Amino acid sequence: MDKTLAAQQRTRLREKLGGRAGMGAGLLLILIVMWLMGLGLGAGLQQLLSLTIWGIMLGGIIALGGVGLTLCYGVLKFPNFAHGELVTLGAYITFAIIQMLPKSAPIWHFSFGWELLLGMVIAMPVTGLVAVVIDRLLYRRLRVAKSALVLFAMASLGMAFFLRSVIYLLWGSDFHFFYVGRANPALHLPLGVRVQADQLFVFGLVVVLVVLLYLLLAKTKVGKAMRATADNPDLAQVRGINTERINAWTWMIGGGLAAAGGVMYGLASQLRPDMGFTLLLPMFAAVILGSIGSAFGALAGAIVIGIAMQVTSSFMSPAYGPAVAFALMVLALIVRPQGLFADK
């Protein structure tokens, strides 16, 4: 009897720890431990506050790619390993447009002018169209043939190498910058925290795009059709929904968000052909952490990943950032595989 009671207590404990509140509390505890390790190893309070804010901005960049990734997975039901290259492609298309336009004065305290915003507005639909074309030429054939999931994954991996090769051919292997030699002044916030105006713009753009995506999914016919296709594509077809058109919309939106993420990442660092691949693991980690198919879940997961990657740089090499993201992803898969925002 005592053994049965003990087993029931252990089961209830696992359910609590694996619940949404338990997982959220666990992630908060992990971030607090990272903070304490930073303080214990010599990092100052102001440094850790700045790293936390920078982590939120990095999470915003990861979220732009992660939201598109989770949207494509939710509707199309396969992990698109070429999504990182769509991030890179969007950044390089914007770079090409900036090179063709005259440079304007910086906007407010930002380091960029109107030509970057115009380049991003053009790059988003162009990258979306590239994603649609890839789907029509490759993934649609696999859907028609009812291929196994592993074939979709391998095809997307091959497409990732192909797109990266195209980027190497068009722009070379050298690093590029949207602007060379332009100042990027820091804003002084309370408690001695310094943050760049560009970082505030990144996070503001992420919030706006995520809210617009939520409104599209919740309020428009296209969004409702996308949700119906994600829940049951066969039933959606029976109800008269053109699922192939919905797939095209999914690729267009996912590619556009990936392009925006690439532009923001390039603005924060530099452009290089493997920049999207570098973000791919943190994007998958954010999607799994927040729940696959949830836009707000991807945003929340990305912010946690971004803060963890930045705060741990106070006591270890920043090169281990992807390893931190991977560790959090594995922890999420063990404790709550459905993610933080999933109901079941």
Mean pLDDT of successive 10-residue stretches along the chain, which has 344 residues: 54 55 81 89 84 89 88 84 95 95 86 92 96 93 88 93 95 90 73 79 88 88 86 82 89 94 90 91 89 81 91 86 86 80 61
Confirm if 310 and 52 have CB atoms less than 8 A apart.
Answer: yes
Helix (H) or strand (E) holding 194: strand 194-196
Q: What is the DSSP code string of 230-298?
A: HH-HHHHHHTT--HHHHHHHHHHHHHHHHHHHHHHHHHHS-B-TTHHHHHHHHHHHHHHHH-TT-HHHH
Q: Give the model's pLDDT for residue 116.
A: 94
Q: CA dist 325 to 199, 217, 221, Å?
A: 21, 28, 36
Query: Using alpha carbons only, what angle is made at residue 58 by residues 54 and 61, rounded to the nearest 5 degrees?
Result: 145
| Structure token pair of residue 336 | 């709550």
| Structure token pair of residue 245 | 């058109």
Query: Using alpha carbons only, what angle is made at residue 249 by residues 245 and 250, rounded to the nearest 5 degrees?
Result: 115
Q: Which amino acid is at 321?
A: G
The number of angstroms, rounded, from the C-alpha of 86 to the middle of its chain's C-alpha atoms is 12
Q: What gap in Å lies between CA 342 and CA 344, rounded to an integer? A: 6
Q: Which amino acid is at 76?
A: L
Q: What gap in Å lies between CA 331 and CA 344, rounded to an integer? A: 18
Q: Give the model's pLDDT for residue 149.
A: 86
Dihedral sign for Cα atoms in the order 42, 46, 50, 52:
positive
Burial (CB count within 10 angstroms: exposed 0-12, middle 13-18, buried 19+), residue 76: buried
Q: Give the model's pLDDT for residue 261.
A: 93
Q: What gap in Å lies between CA 70 and CA 301, rounded to an integer? A: 12
Q: Give the model's pLDDT for residue 109.
A: 82
Q: Give the model's pLDDT for residue 99.
A: 92
